[in-house]
Amino acid sequence: MKKLLSVLLNIRGDFQNLFIFNEYEELTGKSRSGIVTLVVILTITFLALGFAIGGINYLKEKMDDPFTNWVNLEIKQGYRDKVSKIQTELAVDTTKQKFFLNNVGQYNIEFLPFLNFDNGEEYNLRLRTLEMDDNLLKEILSEKKGNVVTGYTYSGEGEVDIERCGLIIKESSLRSLGYEDIEAVKRIPVKIESFVIYPEITAVVRELPNLVDLVVTPHFYVLLNEAFETTNFINISSSNKLEVISTEQDKDKLQKDIMSSLMKYRPASTDVREIELIEGETQNIVTLYFSDYFKYEIKDSIVSELESNSDLDYTRYSPWECNTSRFYNISDPYYLSFNFDQLDKVRDFKNHMWDKYSVEISMDQVEQKENFALVSRLTGFISIILFGFSILSIIFYVNSLLRTHLEKIKMNLGTLKAFGLNNSFLINSYLKIIVTFIGISIVIALIICSVWDLIEARIFENSYFDIFNLKILLAVVVIVLTALLTSQRTISKTLLKTPGDLIYNR
């Protein structure tokens, strides 16, 4: 250990080596009480800093999280005509900078019926629209946030690359539909009027905003709600083709059963293809071709006849088209959402909306955002005070210990100076002693804090302690440099005296 310290501290010569280690033993005491006390002070300091830094990082993460950084505005009938003016003004860069506003979005919230996997019954799930370039969507799918259970994750670079007609659904909501193996689910049935469609699942996530069950793009939302004659999402014109879906795996059995079950509307031919709804499990889609063209209302009668005459289970399958003639957006939104980079100007924004547009934003939302920003600032301020107090404690302790020791050995120092030992040698040697003293204490304190970090991570689900941080390294550097500077001043003040003054305590 001594050899390693000699190399690290660049100790030259046997005399300096003997002097430094003897003085180190005297300074720390036989029971190493000096080391123990400094380790306790440093451990408390690093624990306080670790919790403060971890807390600040958590708050910053939440502050940067659009789940937290947005204010919603329900568009009431009284100011529906002002929405376009609000969006136009808030799209200007100077206005955004004034309120630290990131972007303005619009969305709708509605219920959509899904079919339960176990019993086939309809379950209404709450959906929200979310534009593909919205920061909130990036946050939901962020790879770093860990919100995605399975499916597409956003790397953080470029734009989000997802299907416009996919579903982003909560894990708990998917389980409520009777699915257990979440990662295996590829498509789920959605009921639209008398049709059932099977859109793909883009991602399964843990949490979604506004307490919704799933998120869809505005384009898909419009296709689901607008008249099919307008969007051509589902072809409801007369045709000679009908499709049904069945869990029966035997294709030949399916074709024979359909031919024998349909007497009034006998198809001219059939064709079977597979669709994978759950990974590793397929269902068969049977396409029935007729000699005559039927309206889609008649096709419901054909499916009813098939179901009543057959022992197999059939459901009408509805082919649909996501990439229609154009991409749709919501023309009459129910809500506006305001995403902020910082929350400091939320109240100013609330006042601006009232003064200019007579639009009232919920005070509860504003106060929540302000309190959040205030707590973040207070946490940072308190951590700085704690660190400053800790540095003062360390400096006071080290200097008190050093001053007491130097007073104790004044006569020895005077004798050494009288025999020709210069001040630079003594100052250099004592600074190396201080570095050793503080360095060993810091290492022990960091080891204790690291052990606590491991214990806390196992005990608590959410850990707000962060010891492995560049700020801790910076704190160590500041502690060492500050202690060295003040120690040098203390040592120099003592050694400025003449050998006679030191020997005779003058």
Q: What is the CATH number of the domain that holds 271?
A: 3.30.70
Whole-number pLDDT of residue 289:
92
**Do residues 56 and 79 both lie within one domain?**
no
pLDDT score at 466: 78
Q: CB-based burial of residue 188 (10 Å sphere; 0-12 exposed, 13-18 middle, 19+ buried)?
A: buried
In angstroms, the CA 402 to CA 397 distance is 9
Average pLDDT for the chain = 82
Do 86 and 183 reside in the same domain of the chain?
Answer: yes
Q: What are the tens digits of pLDDT across the range 399-438?
A: 787 777 777 766 766 676 666 566 676 777 777 777 777 8
Whether the pLDDT of residue 63 is over 70: the answer is: no
Higher pLDDT, 348 or 1: 348
In terms of domains, do 209 and 272 share one?
A: no
Domain C-terminal end among 290, 316, 342 = 316
pLDDT score of 64: 58
At 11 the pLDDT is: 57
3-state secondary structure string, 83-128?
HHHHHHHHCCHHHHHHHCEEEEEEECEEEEEEECCCCCCEEEEEEE
273 burial level (CB within 10 Å; 0-12, 13-18, 19+): exposed
Of the candidates 202, 210, 233, the residue with the CA atom closest to the CA atom of residue 107: 210
Q: Do 173 and 245 have their domain in common? A: no
Of the listed ranges 73-77, 148-152, 288-292, 487-491, the one predicted with least confidence: 487-491
Are both 81 and 208 inside the same structural domain? Answer: yes
Q: Give per-residue pLDDT as tens, 163-221.
A: 999 999 999 999 999 999 999 999 999 988 878 899 999 999 999 988 899 999 999 99
Whether residue 104 is found in the same domain as residue 135: yes
- Flag whether 217 is in a domain: yes
**Per the domain annotation, does 278 fall within a domain?**
yes
For residue 66, pLDDT over 80 is answered with no
Q: Which residues pair with 111 in a beta bridge?
A: 126
φ and ψ at residue 188, rounded to 5 degrees: -135, 150
Q: Measured in whole angstroms, how far is the alpha carbon of residue 222 from the centre of its chain?
A: 30
What local confidence, expressed as pLDDT, does residue 395 receive? 82
Please check whether residue 154 lies inside any domain of the structure. Answer: yes
User: 84 and 50 in one domain?
Assistant: no
Are residues 360 and 378 both part of a single domain? Answer: no
* Residue 367 confidence (pLDDT) above 80: no
Confidence at residue 154, expressed as pLDDT on a 0 to 100 scale: 92
C-alpha separations of 368 from 134, 253, 339, 343, 362 in Å: 22, 62, 15, 10, 10
Number of domains, the chain: 3
Domain-embedded: residue 68: no
Residues 171 and 92 grouped into a single domain: yes
Residues 252, 300, single domain; the answer is yes
Order the strands of the 190-192 sheet from edge to edge: 148-151, 201-205, 167-170, 214-216, 122-129, 109-115, 190-192, 195-197
In a domain, 211, yes or no: yes
pLDDT band at 4 (very low <50, low <70, confident <90, very high): very low
What is the three-class DSSP state of 233? coil
Range 143-163 average pLDDT: 89
Q: Say what the pLDDT of residue 7 is.
A: 42
Does residue 67 belong to any structural domain of this protein?
no
Sign of CA dihedral 58, 63, 65, 71: positive
Same domain, 78 and 225: yes
Tokens of 285: 């889609």
> Could you give the C-alpha distances from 328 to 99, 155, 197, in angstroms and in order?
30, 27, 19
Residue 6 pLDDT > 60 = no
Listed residue (292, 252, 290, 286) closest to 271, CA to CA? 286
Looking at the fold, whether 360 and 408 belong to one and the same domain comes out as no
Mean pLDDT of 113-140: 90
Query: What's the confidence (pLDDT) of residue 5?
Result: 47
Q: Does 202 map to a domain?
A: yes
User: Dihedral sign, CA of 43, 46, 52, 58?
Assistant: negative
Domain stops at, among 302, 337, 365 = 365
Q: Which domain holds residue 162?
A: 73-232+325-365
Helix pair angle (410-418, 423-459), 10° resolution? 140
Q: How far apart are the first and last CA of the chain?
A: 39
Question: What pLDDT, on a 0 to 100 scale, did the predictor assign at position 149?
Answer: 94
* Residue finishing a domain among 303, 338, 365: 365
The amino acid sitting at 315 is T
* Arithmetic mean of pLDDT, 3-12: 49
> Is 29 within a domain?
yes
